[in-house]
Structure 1
């Protein structure tokens, strides 16, 4: 019988982990410490596997069921949902490691030896004050004219025309990020 919100809230703390089944492999694991974890059991390549779907009440019954259905669609397509999640997480970590801010800071460190202290500080401050807050979190692979133009327009509207010009025509490897061609 499928779970309801009332059935989820009703049980008291337990002495050992207890499962409340919802159906289709989804269940709520009640722990002795009072936490309630959504889990999805499935088989892939003949092996039993479990996938975490979140913590109740942060993950509602409806959302847990949607996540289960998504995982079941992946299984139907021949994909292990656990492996897919790990792959997505690794890709996210890789994208974060290649964010505009990370790459720009590495570039600044390379240029530090070529520039005077004052020049380095100007370039660093320009990026920190104007570019990083708006595009620093974006992956380098995702940056293009559609991301750069609003940054430059914002600076012009705030009467930072010289900063916009300098960012657009930034020297070395970053120049290609700020030009359309």
Structure 2
């Protein structure tokens, strides 16, 4: 006889489990601890099997009969319900281990880190993943479609971060291609979104390009009354014109004060090529003073809170704002443009030597192949000339301007 809900509620636990049948192989088993579990007994190829259908009262009598009907339907179609359930569980486990976030992390560690990508590049990749994760991070990568990804990118665009949205699309595309290579993806939905995002305007870093204004800026830097390490960073930045990230990640073991060379390893460089910076006498003097403050730690410009991390990426720009200079007047990155402009306009230096000093690659493959090495001797002279030039500007001395051919004007 079929069970009723009232009968099931009335079943009391005994000292050992007991069963009560509902019909067609469905029964409820009552355990000594009071739990009541639904099971279905059936046969496949003459072999008796059991399928758990859930616990009462979470699975009601009506729901248990529904599940029974579904399982019997599978059996009638030649599908073993137990095997089918195991396959679904295995698929769910596979998908859980192959979400977009999981594969993206694997891509960063096994592909980017193993290939020796620059530290800054890897940090950016992790940042792009953090931006995308709320929308698609937990979704199996094979289930992410162009509309899901576009919705995540549109949220970034809504904040006005068009360049970030574009970079995130590119990062996602690399992750999807990695999933395809490793047999866990079928397509790259990011590829379908080429042209779908707002094209950001080219970004130009504000830079001081007038000698008098540059001299005033250098004097303001010398008068800076903030943290001493920040002041040293402000004083050194214009003279070495490396990228801000390369400066703040500088380590004492990379700097040879006796040889007057700062050797930056490939992993810290944007182009993933090692780079050497000649150090002028002015920079050597500043580093000598700075070593008395931070020389006991790893980083030349350590964080204010801990010597185990480098200075924050916003420190120099924040100091410039505190000094009264707006982001449209000068930026830390803009000192590179300042140096490039003045050095080229002086007409004293080979343009290739200037490009090497800026750690730029050559966009012309033939020109790059036949250029004369790294122009080291010329760069040593050029960096000293540049520091001397800045010193004259800072002191307010006469500075002769040059035209584009290097002639006095």
User: TM-score scaled to structure 2, two decimals?
Assistant: 0.42
Secondary structure class of the residue paired with 1:115: coil
CA distance in 2, matches of 1:44, 1:170: 49
Give the counterpart of 1:120 among 102, 105, 122. 122
Could you tell me how far 1:172 is from its partner in structure 2? 6.8
Match of 1:168 in 2: 169
Could you tell me how far 1:116 is from its partner in structure 2? 2.5
Match of 1:154 in 2: 155
Write out per-residue CA displacement over residues 26-55 of structure 1, whole angstroms, 9 at most, x where no aligned residue. Answer: 111100111111101001110110000011
CA distance 1:172–1:156, change in 2 (3 Å): closer
Secondary structure class of the residue paired with 1:146: helix
CA distance in 2, matches of 1:32, 1:63: 24
Write out per-residue CA displacement over residues 52-80 of structure 1, whole angstroms, 9 at most, x where no aligned residue. Answer: 00111222222211111110001111111
CA distance in 1, matches of 2:159, 2:67: 44
Segments of 4+ in structure 1 off by > 3 A?
none
Count of residue correspondences: 180
CA distance in 1, matches of 2:189, 2:31: 51
CA distance 1:172–1:65, change in 2 (3 Å): closer
Could you tell me how far 1:131 is from its partner in structure 2? 1.2
Contact 1:167 1:178 in 2 (8 A): no
Secondary structure class of the residue paired with 1:21: strand
CA distance 1:25–1:78, change in 2 (3 Å): same
Could you tell me how far 1:159 is from its partner in structure 2? 3.3
List alignment gaps of at least 5 residues for structure 1: none
Write out per-residue CA displacement over residues 108-161 of structure 1, whole angstroms, 9 at most, x where no aligned residue. Answer: 112024322232122102212x21121112222222212211111122223333
CA distance in 1, matches of 2:19, 2:150: 53
Give the counterpart of 1:178 among 190, 196, 203. 190
1:137 aligns with 2:154: no
**Alignment root-mean-square deviation, CA:** 1.8
Question: Which stretch of the first structure deviates more once superposed, 150-159 or 29-38?
Answer: 150-159
Contact 2:16 2:31 in 1 (8 A): yes
CA distance in 1, matches of 2:191, 2:173: 12
CA distance in 2, matches of 1:66, 1:99: 32
